[in-house]
Structure 1
Amino acid sequence: MYYGEKRVETPIRWAMVGGGKGSQIGYIHRSSALRDFNFQLVAGAFDIDAARGKAFGESLHVAADRCYPDYQTLFAEEAKRPDGIQAVSIATPNFTHFEIAKAALNAGLHVYCEKPMCFNTEEAAELEALVEKTGKIMFVSYGYAGHQMIEQGRKMIADGVLGKIRIVKMQFAHGYHNVAVEKNAASTAWRVDPKKSGPSYVLGDVGTHPLYLAEAMLPEEMKVKRLLCSRQSFVESRKPLEDNAMTLMEYEGGAVGYVWSSCVNAGAMFGHTIRIVGEKASIEWNAEFPNQLAYEVQGEPQHIMHRAMDYLYPEATADDRIGGGHPEGLFESWANIYSRFARAIELTEKGEPVDFWYPGVRAGAEGVKWVEKCVESADQGGVWVDY
């Protein structure tokens, strides 16, 4: 269990690009990064409107002269300071991620980027190469992976508790955009604009979240072999971007997978689940009940495992912040990912290897490739395409 002791010797000097006034995702980033004292928010370019961004930064107790009008000025001016930033989080609309991440890496900064980290595999390859060249750490914001029961599932699969994996059923299908809410919500409007969102809406916005959970839990040798995708725009004004998509996948080794990505699942609160079926047993995790993991063996009653219990793997209890029975949630999960970000930065700057898994640039590239292949399949009429 984590009792609030420090995890890095010195807090990482940290900045944000975006995440300003009215940004829900910005608040989640700050609350999670600052929770364990691994980071200090010392600078930022919080808003496209410089005056509004400065006022917002000052409300966060960031010094006025370190609230910058844009990310270019932020990186250039902080590089001149002996106490300049070491890392930056990018919490801006999709179409800006690639250029900002590229500039940050070139400025010698470690990067935590909202997903998708870019629009296509060519850009993803460029970022991967830049991470390799600079030796900097890049995280992609798959915050749900920080829930402890995901680690429990990962260890159960690795230990063969489920047997050979046969089926991976994933979904992130909520109903909050079942009508054209973007007409009155700027935070949604850019998500359905191809110029700002990229080649997809829900595939990239929600579908890649359970996809990464599967990537984190499944053996590395389980790679997607080919996929078939059908996508729809039930709200006509969203065309050519989809608000619903069904994706079938075949893995190397014979397993199959399914991802339902949707924002028009009317009545659904969240609809984010992953079920992994093996030859001996199955596990299922639901983001609305993140402190539990269902474990089902054929012919036996269903077992519900709970966070913070002694019967779990030590890796699954290492990040507990409070005893069992008390619910933990999204902020704790994101904080766990940010904690890994801080530790990875510290190890890297000491020249030591990072010996734990995390959603890095490779995971970001995989998400971009998956969306690209889904769009390719759907736009050809829903055909199988090689991965």
Structure 2
Amino acid sequence: MINGEKNVKNPIRWAMVGGGRGSQIGYIHRSASLRDHNFQLVAGAFDIDPERGKDFGVNLHVDPERCYPDYKTMFAEEAKRVDGIQAVSIATPNGTHYEICKAALNAGLHVICEKPLCFTTEGAKELETLAKKMNRVVGVTYGYSGHQAVEQARQMIANGELGEIRIVNMQFAHGFHSEAVEEKNASTKWRVDPKMAGPSYVLGDLGTHPLYLSEVMLPHMKIKRLMCTRQSFVKSRAPLEDNAYTIMEYDNGAIGTVWSSCVNAGSMHGQKIRVIGSKASIDWWDEQPNQLRYEVQGKPVQILERGMDYLYPEALKDDRIGGGHPEGLFEAWSNLYTRFAQAMEAADRGEAFDRWYPGIEAGVAGVRWVENCVRSADNGAVWIEYQ
């Protein structure tokens, strides 16, 4: 049970790059980090417009002198302070992640970064090497993985309750971009610009989320080869896709699918994962995150509820309130931010951290998957060996 008592000896002095006024993702970063007293927001380069960023930071109770015009200035000035920042979250458009993350690591800072880390596996591996060299934590905000039902699924699979895993069906398919909303929405416009979004739209923006859920639930399974087809139904988005299907073969003989889409008209969110074994199946939908559907062949369906004593201890560890009370995305992010803080403190002590969290390896894996999907799709939706 999490009740707000100490998870780390002292709150980590923390800053943000991006996430300023009007940023949905910036608000959830701040809410998640500050909830359990694991971090203290002391500085920021919140906006590409320095004055607007400073005004925003002051309204967050940040010292005006520590509201910086850009991340380079912030890293340099904070390094001069005895009480300088120890960690930074990056909540900027995709095309800037690599350079900011690299600069933060070189400045000796821990990093929490929006995905993708960068646009190429080569670049992601470079960041991984640098993070290990500097002994710094890089957390990647696959926020949905912080839901407790995901941990319950992981434990059930590990304990053989599903039997041999045969099929993994994944999707993140909403409908909010079924028209060219980017024409009037700046926060969507950059997502369909290859210069800022990279080599994909929905594969990287959406598909990597359920893919990471599968990696948490099924850490023993590795992709052997895949085939991907992608479409731009809103033609102005080409060459970036707004819909894609990926089929994967795993090294244990199982098969997986990922439907990534923003043109699933009428769907609110549409992120689901279903894992099918030889004995039973589990099904999780992020619009009903407190429930895990458990289906044993020949028996009635069971709905496993968050917070109940029949769950595995690992799935109860992050409870904030008893079963029956709904927990949501903010709690899931807070669970991950707690782990990020604990991992950072452990790294500073030169110790290992013994719980999983979406770290630099998860960031590399997401970039790698997108790169392979694009390679398959752009070569005529062919099967390719996973590289």
TM class by shorter chain equals over 0.9
Task: Provide the rounded CA distance (Å) in 2 between the counterparts of 1:202 and 1:254.
Answer: 27
SS at match of 1:132: helix
Paired residue type of 1:44:
G
Structure 1 position 145, deviation (Å):
0.5
Paired residue type of 1:263:
C
Aligned residue number for residue 105 of structure 1: 105
- Residues 225 and 250 in structure 1, CA contact (< 8 A), matched pair in contact too: yes
Is 1:190 the equivalent of 2:193? no
Is 1:273 the equivalent of 2:263? no
- Residues 46 and 57 in structure 1, CA contact (< 8 A), matched pair in contact too: yes
Structure 1 position 308, deviation (Å):
0.4
Is 1:246 the equivalent of 2:233? no
SS at match of 1:228: strand
Paired residue type of 2:102:
K
Q: How does 1:164-179 map to 2 (within 5 A)?
A: 164-179=164-179
Paired residue type of 1:23:
S
Aligned residue number for residue 156 of structure 1: 156
Aligned residue number for residue 70 of structure 2: 70
Structure 1 position 242, deviation (Å):
0.1
SS at match of 2:351: coil
Q: CA RMSD in A?
A: 0.5
SS at match of 1:84: coil
What do the CA deviations read for 1:198-229 (whole angstroms, capped 9, x no partner)?
00000000000000000011032x10000000
Task: Provide the rounded CA distance (Å) in 1 between the counterparts of 2:75 and 2:40.
Answer: 16
SS at match of 1:261: strand
Structure 1 position 125, deviation (Å):
1.0
Structure 1 position 351, deviation (Å):
1.4
Task: Provide the rounded CA distance (Å) in 1 between the counterparts of 2:219 and 2:16.
Answer: 34
Task: Provide the rounded CA distance (Å) in 2 between the counterparts of 1:224 and 1:77.
Answer: 44
Task: Provide the rounded CA distance (Å) in 2 between the counterparts of 1:381 and 1:361.
Answer: 31
Structure 1 position 3, deviation (Å):
1.9
Aligned residue number for residue 90 of structure 2: 90
Q: Which moved more, 1:15-24 or 1:349-358?
A: 349-358
Aligned residue number for residue 339 of structure 1: 338
Gap regions ≥5 residues in structure 2: none
**What is the total number of aligned residue pairs between the two structures?**
386
- Residues 169 and 275 in structure 1, CA contact (< 8 A), matched pair in contact too: yes
SS at match of 2:100: helix
Paired residue type of 2:303:
I
Q: How does 1:1-387 map to 2 (within 5 A)?
A: 1-220=1-220, 222-387=221-386
Task: Provide the rounded CA distance (Å) in 1 between the counterparts of 2:331 and 2:17.
Answer: 22
SS at match of 1:316: helix
What do the CA deviations read for 1:267-322 (whole angstroms, capped 9, x no partner)?
00110000000111000100000000000001111000000000000110111101
Task: Provide the rounded CA distance (Å) in 2 between the counterparts of 1:356 and 1:38.
Answer: 17
Task: Provide the rounded CA distance (Å) in 1 between the counterparts of 2:4 and 2:189.
Answer: 40
- Residues 158 and 219 in structure 1, CA contact (< 8 A), matched pair in contact too: no
Structure 1 position 91, deviation (Å):
0.1
Paired residue type of 2:209:
H
Structure 1 position 386, deviation (Å):
0.6
Task: Provide the rounded CA distance (Å) in 2 between the counterparts of 1:6 and 1:355.
Answer: 18
